[in-house]
Amino acid sequence: MTPRPQRAARPRVVVVGPATWNHIILLDHLPYPSPHMQFAANHWWTVGGTSAGKALHLADLGVAQTLVAALGNDQGGDHVRDALARGGVHLVEMPSADVTESHVNLMNASGERVSLYVDAPPAAHEAGLDIARHAIQGAAAVVLDLASSAAVLAAAPEGIDAEVWVDLHDWDGVSDFQVPFLHAADVVVASHERLGSIEDFLWRCIDNGAKLAIVTRGAAGAIGMDENGDIVRCAARPVKVVDTNGAGDAFVAGALAARLLGDPLLAVLEAGSRQAVRALSSRHLCASIDM
């Protein structure tokens, strides 16, 4: 009897970083730097954290994924666990303090945000790092997000046998915390907001050894550079914006999923732009967990 061909294992992505329980407060305008009173236009509680957002959108796209995050043994942690489970996220927990990281995000209709950290991120320790290192084994890609645990892994990425993605968010190109992430990355994503010259930043990433560098520009779309120095631009997709939280994480997830399929750079950017709509059209990190 001819043996049945073995199916190739589905590419798996591991995301290491924060998952939080957040209170979103929508205001007509962000607070002035003086004592005053405002009325909220709306408010809601929801799961937050850049890594939770990426994992939710990867799950939304049908990508096998694992989120490695620290949650407290509290009500906020239980809410986060429930939301991630509803979104199809495979969660592996690192040891944490009793309290789950939590933010109050003050938002206006333009998407501008002031984030107040009311419960601080947990510090990295060796037991949690061992859990993360074990989860990473066999992954096709690893996302190291801006958190203390991922920073330790980024500083010594030699044991990671996977394509390393980093999301530098609105880095100014100078602050020290992001530098190890930049040097560890095979793929770099950053927002344009504080970068100065986008093209200089893209070249900096490639010169540091990245295979791909992407800068997101909000409603202006995205621009990417491959390891040969070729630049591609992509327009943003039209969308009725409900909330801007998580749009960058959705973009990363969409781009990563397309890259796993071997798509060219333009298709990778288009996939990121397409997935960002799933965040922008929901008041949660992803429309898959709308309640």
> Once rounded to an integer, what is the mean pLDDT over residues 157-175?
92
> What CATH number is attached to the domain comprising 184?
3.40.1190.20
The Cβ of residue 93 has, within 10 Å, a number of other Cβ atoms equal to: 15
In a domain, 241, yes or no: yes
In a domain, 245, yes or no: yes
In a domain, 41, yes or no: yes
How many structural domains is the chain composed of? 1
Nearest to 259 by CA among 245, 275, 278, 238: 275
Q: How confident is the model at residue 120 (pLDDT cuts 50, 70, 90)?
A: confident
Q: Strand, coil or helix: what is 237?
A: coil
Q: pTM of this prediction? A: 0.92
Count of residues for the chain?
291
Higher pLDDT, 239 or 21: 21
Q: How confident is the model at residue 68 (pLDDT cuts 50, 70, 90)?
A: very high
In a domain, 5, yes or no: no
pLDDT for the residue 109:
86
In a domain, 33, yes or no: yes
In a domain, 6, yes or no: no
In a domain, 194, yes or no: yes
Per-residue pLDDT for 6 more than 70? no
In a domain, 121, yes or no: yes
> What mean pLDDT, rounded, does the chain reach?
91
Domain range for 40 is: 16-289
pLDDT for the residue 4:
45
Q: How confident is the model at residue 98 (pLDDT cuts 50, 70, 90)?
A: confident
pLDDT for the residue 291:
61
Percentage with pLDDT > 70 across the chain: 96
> Once rounded to an integer, what is the mean pLDDT over residues 30-44?
93
Residue tagged 């995301």 (tokens): 15
Quick one: how far is CA 111 from the chain centroid?
17
